Amino acid sequence: MFKDEVLMILEKNRGKEVSGEYIASRFNVSRALVCKAVKKLREEGNEISARNNGGYTLAENSGALSDIGIAERMSVARPVIYLPETDSTNKRAKIMALTGAVHGTVVAADRQTEGRGRRGRSFYSPAGSGVYFSVIIRPDFDYEQCQKVIPMTAVAVSRAIEKVCGLKTDIKWVNDLYYHGKKVVGIATESIGELGGVKPDALIVGIGINVTTQDFPEELRDKAGALDVCINRNLLVAACVDEFFELYDGLAAAEFMDEYREKCFVLGKEVRVLCSEPYLAKAVRIDDFGELIVEKASGELVKLLTEEVSVVIENA
């Protein structure tokens, strides 16, 4: 569509004015058609200012998401699929992975109607205020190594938020990010593979970030928060993907685990382990696979596997 060509030019020149005449002549169309495309892009949430002389500027912090906007900001070219609204990007990515989507494909949405969380929970995903995206990876490592993708993603997203928003987040084991004591990021991975296989065919890494989200449902109000920054959301998605793949090559060595442990505020705390029979314990260590080792009152050490349990901090 012509509006996509216009967005591409404005995105490449974000914050700078591009004359309507230049766009029109580049595509051999009338200025009126350019004006119409800009109107459509504005309706989609892009902040584009216009001057009397016919110059257009896409605002530096214009928050509207687009495939072009995300792809333009990533340092390595990867397929990006943007859906204004979908049920769940994890679900969409899983279907795409089953039908051959390549390693590194990114599926992003402005709104999810059935955002999936860990352990059967849902993820609140209203329009215009968060980023919800899934990355498809085709691992060349076994299921045991795959476990490390979870803490690795938490470190990658934390780094991206610091770069793009200038904010430091903390990690709550396994992979929630907190800012000012409230959960602002959720990460949920899903795998596709044959039963009994050594490695998955694909791993879907789903990331949800509350950027300016407000009006959380009653049951989330005490716990959920937002980064509360006015940023270019495309840039945030691109930065997360870049940081993710920067760490991905070093997955086996897992050097990022030291940063994970530093940022993880669960260590040393009294926690309640939520499983079929919840119990109290002290969080003593996190190993290089991201497994949390807790000490029960009896002194018994228990290793908690990342996707199986959750912990809540006692007296927090």
Nearest partner of 227 among 194, 178, 266, judged by Cα: 178
Q: Which residue number is nearest to ligand BTN in terms of Cβ?
A: 186
The 3-class SS string of 32-43 reads HHHHHHHHHHHH
Residue 179 interacting with ligand BTN (CB under 6 A)? no
Nearest partner of 72 among 241, 312, 254, judged by Cα: 241
Residue 206 interacting with ligand BTN (CB under 6 A)? yes
Residue among 56, 82, 124, 132 that touches ligand BTN (CB under 6 A): 132
Residue among 73, 94, 118, 148 that touches ligand BTN (CB under 6 A): 118
Q: Are 73 and 106 in contact (CB under 8 A)?
A: no
Closest distance to ligand BTN from the beta carbon of 185 (Å): 8
Residue 151 interacting with ligand BTN (CB under 6 A)? no
Residue 94 interacting with ligand BTN (CB under 6 A)? no
Residue 225 interacting with ligand BTN (CB under 6 A)? no
| CB closer to ligand BTN out of 112 and 232 | 112
Residue 233 interacting with ligand BTN (CB under 6 A)? no
- Tokens (6 digits) for 32: 């009126």
Residue 96 interacting with ligand BTN (CB under 6 A)? no
Taking only Cα atoms into account, the Rg of the chain, rounded to an integer number of angstroms, comes to 21
Residue 89 interacting with ligand BTN (CB under 6 A)? yes
The 3-class SS string of 194-260 reads CCCCCCCCEEEEEEEEECCCCCCCHHHCCCECCCCCCCCHHHHHHHHHHHHHHHHCCCCCCCHHHHH
Which positions touch ligand BTN (CB under 6 A)?
A: 88-90, 112, 115-118, 121, 123, 132-134, 176, 186-188, 206-208
